[in-house]
Amino acid sequence: MSKSVGMLSALPLTPLHYPFAKVLSKLDKRLILPGLVVGSVIPDIEVPFMWVFFSEYQDHFILHSLIGALTLGLLAAVLVTRFLYPPIISFVFGVDKDRLNEACRLKPILVLSCAIGVLSHLVLDVPMHPYNPILWPWVPSSNIVGILVLFFAQGNGIAVGFVRANALMSVVMLFFCVSILVRYRKKKLWEHVWLGDDVGESQRVD
Ligand SMILES: [Zn+2]
């Protein structure tokens, strides 16, 4: 696996974890969408960090392990959701800051939502990556090859399998992203996208 292949495909996919978070928020309405969203992308903050400071190592490491994701990753997700999400989302998308702050108040269900979001990231990553430190430090990451990578690698090598698995997953998740945007295009889009359906529904004006 060349470093460039990993770099090309790692970060562009990060926002495409969003639809999974949105689906989870619909499956259980008690979960808090901002926590799910932040949790679902937070493990990838280690990727550019690894490129810059530890380029000799694989760019998925502690935050892509269960133990790291549910400790450091969860802590980062809770802090980002509580303190950064409301001001950034209100500034960039014009969503009401008070409602964001209310949704992102520190409480057990927010922590649980962040934890589920973090786990959702790993669930999506594992099938499409050629190495997975999910059981670090007990099982070497090279021992856990994504099932989609193996499927597409047949006769073509792991690198090709990785690119194809990423391409497939990107297309599928992009489809869901566009579907969500189309679904809510006339109904307070950004409230639905960043706060959740219940909040958007109660404020609906159409
Ligand atoms: Zn990842």
pLDDT in tens, 36-81: 999 999 999 999 888 888 888 888 899 999 999 999 999 999 999 9
b/e per residue, 10-43, with b = 16+ CB within 10 A? beebbebbbbbbbebbeeeeebbbbbbbbbbbbb
End-to-end alpha carbon distance in the chain: 51
Between the CA of 122 and the centroid of ligand 1 the distance, in Å, is 7
What local confidence, expressed as pLDDT, does residue 53 receive?
87
* pLDDT tens profile 110-141: 999 999 999 999 999 999 999 999 999 999 99
38 Cα–ligand 1 center, Å:
13
- Token pair 């990556």 is found at 129
Q: Can you give the pLDDT at residue 156?
A: 86
CA 11 – ligand 1 centroid, Å: 8
How is residue 159 written in tokens? 């690198």
**C-alpha of residue 146 to centroid of ligand 1, in Å:** 13
Report how far ligand 1's centroid is from the alpha carbon of 23 (Å). 18
Residue 125 Cα to ligand 1 middle (Å) = 6
Q: What is the pLDDT of residue 5?
A: 46
Give me the residues near ligand 1 (ion), CB cutoff below 5 Å.
Answer: 43-44, 125
What is the 20 CA–ligand 1 centroid distance (Å)?
Answer: 13
Q: How many angstroms is it from 17 CA to the middle of ligand 1?
A: 9
What the block records as the tokens of 84 is 């950064």
